[in-house]
Chain A
Amino acid sequence: MISVGLVLPQQAHFSAPLVLKSGALLPGFDLVYETYGTLNAAKSNAILVCHALSGHHHVAGYYADQNDSIGWWDNIIGPGRPLDTDRFFIVGVNNLGGCHGSTGPASVNPATGKHWGADFPVVTVEDWVATQARLADALGIDAWAAVIGGSLGGMQALQWTLSFPERVRHSLVIAAAAKLSAENIAFNEIARQAILSDPDFHGGNYYAHGVRPLNGLRLARMLGHITYLSDDQMAEKFGRRQRPGAGSYSFEVEFEIESYLRYQGDKFAGLFDANTYLRMTRALDYFDPALAYDGQLAAALAPAQASFLVIAFSTDWRFAPFRSREIVHALVHNGQSVAYAESNCAHGHDSFLMDDAYYHAVVAAYLQRITL
């Protein structure tokens, strides 16, 4: 089993205005995307991969001019891999509001000629699905064989079946939930406060000041990172191990876990846009398809025509398995097709990105059943 190899990002422009769920109007937008495999003549073998908080369109393969440019979900995509590019045509897209090439807060607002910054609207999971549908139109894909995603990506995979029931045959909802808990929102709020209170934030218009709220973004990522790991895994990986020269009774890096978090925070802050981070976490907070149905998830999911595969990880406390089972039970209540698997992968919420044998075997077995 090998990677898809060299890949190239592509850009699609959509000139028709888009009314967002918030009521805001976007005059037009670009989406950057990648594809792997070949779309068949019937256009029946397309799979959309939706990304999570910090993801993007570069899902698999690597770029010719960059070392260390492997896609973020490369381990599951390729010839003979669970998302088999010998059979399927895979599409990865950077979501609207992102910072990897699709129109977002760092893009230029055509009305002002300046960066959107604070004026870029708050986008929702529903908005992302609507824009992804425009990309599907552009690619000539009437219905996805499957839409798949982990975490926030799983929410999009779920929303697709509600926004466009006839355009999704299978939905793979991994390490996700039908809505955030108060605790989930609380973590997001702290992450946002770290950014909003950074003196370099400038109300979101930091581009004009030639600075970026790096400290805030760094803190936000450090906090987020803790919630993506499991307690056991952190104990195993770092324990209480100290750095060389530790014991200085200062606030320098003393423990390995501190060093790790600082490294992860710095790396992320260097690559990501704070305005995008704010919007991605807000999209998570707002997602709640049952809200319009008096909190009745089964009623909310009733329009879906897709078959579902729901996967959770026993060590994931950010979106624990019981959150996934809420989705499963709502679908069973409605008599909708659903399979559910629970992996013991040790990596907490991040397990969905790992090459866990059982988890990948479940995805492969499910996708092999799909007729093209």
Chain B
Amino acid sequence: MHTVERADFDLIASWVKPNERVLDLGCGDGSLLKRLIEERGAFGYGIEREEAGVLAAIAQGINVIQGDLEQGLAGFDDGTFNHVVLSRTLQTVRHTERLLTEMLRVGREAVVSFPNFAYWKNRVAVMNGRMPVSEDLPYEWFNTPNLRFFTLLDFEALCAKMQLVIRERQVLDEAGRLVVARPNFLGSLAVYRLGR
């Protein structure tokens, strides 16, 4: 759970309209949902596995549902949500394709952010013989929850294979500034809006 304000939250918030229903997967303490509710007038639910996150979210008055994303989203009806958000969590999920499929089953739009392994500083770290540690990949190799290491190009190839439509892509550097040129090299964090 990040405690610092997440740069991708600004983008995600800008995509949510009043009264829209949002499902935040891996919602932690519910900070994003709280912001979407208070600033955007959204109505939201979060799913969180860890007890500390669930407790903190309940204390914030968030509709948090304790559960494990690896079990899928069984029980949630098709098309229940306007947006299903997966912020900096896709890289920790084992069943990647199944989760993306599930997100676009229960939601009309999937919002996915993830750290770009091809960010130039990460490339430099590997060139120098070490696994990267950065703002968006803040763990050491031996304690990282991340299971998947992939790049913008890798992700877009998967979207093409799964026939997911990329509606919008925004790429940020480590300071949270928008990156326009050479995103797979200069971007540390990618945020996508996906549809069918």
Contact = CB atoms under 8 A, between A and B. Distances in A.
Nearest to B43: A335
A339 B77 contact: no
Contacts of A326: 75
B80 interface: yes
A206 B43 CA distance: 57
Interface stretch (B53-61, B162-170, B187-195): B53-61
Given A333-B80, A339-B64, A362 B75 contact: no
A365 B62 CA distance: 11
Given A362-B58, A366-B58, A338 B51 contact: no
Contacts of A365: 55, 58-59
Interface in B25-72: 43, 45, 51, 54-55, 57-59, 61-67
B58 A337 contact: no
- Residue from the set B54, B58, B67 with the largest chain A CB neighbour count within 10 Å: B58
A365 B60 CA distance: 9
A314 to B, nearest CB: 10
B58 A339 contact: yes
A342 interface: yes
B88 interface: no
Contacts of B21: 335
A368 B61 CA distance: 10
Nearest to A310: B65
A339 B65 contact: yes
Contacts of B65: 328, 332, 338-340
Which range holds the interface residue count of chain B? 20 to 34
Nearest to A358: B51
Interface string A283-325: 0000000000000000000000000010000000000000001
Interface string B76-91: 1100100000000000
Contacts of A362: 54-55, 58
Contacts of B57: 339
A84 to B, nearest CB: 15
Nearest to A322: B75
13 contacts: A325-B67, A329-B76, A329-B77, A332-B80, A333-B80, A338-B65, A339-B54, A340-B64, A340-B66, A341-B66, A342-B66, A358-B51, A362-B55
Interface of B: 21, 43, 45, 51, 54-55, 57-59, 61-67, 75-77, 80
In the complex, the 9 A-B pairs of residues with the closest C-beta atoms, listed nearest first: A329-B75, A365-B59, A340-B65, A365-B58, A342-B66, A369-B61, A341-B66, A339-B58, A358-B51
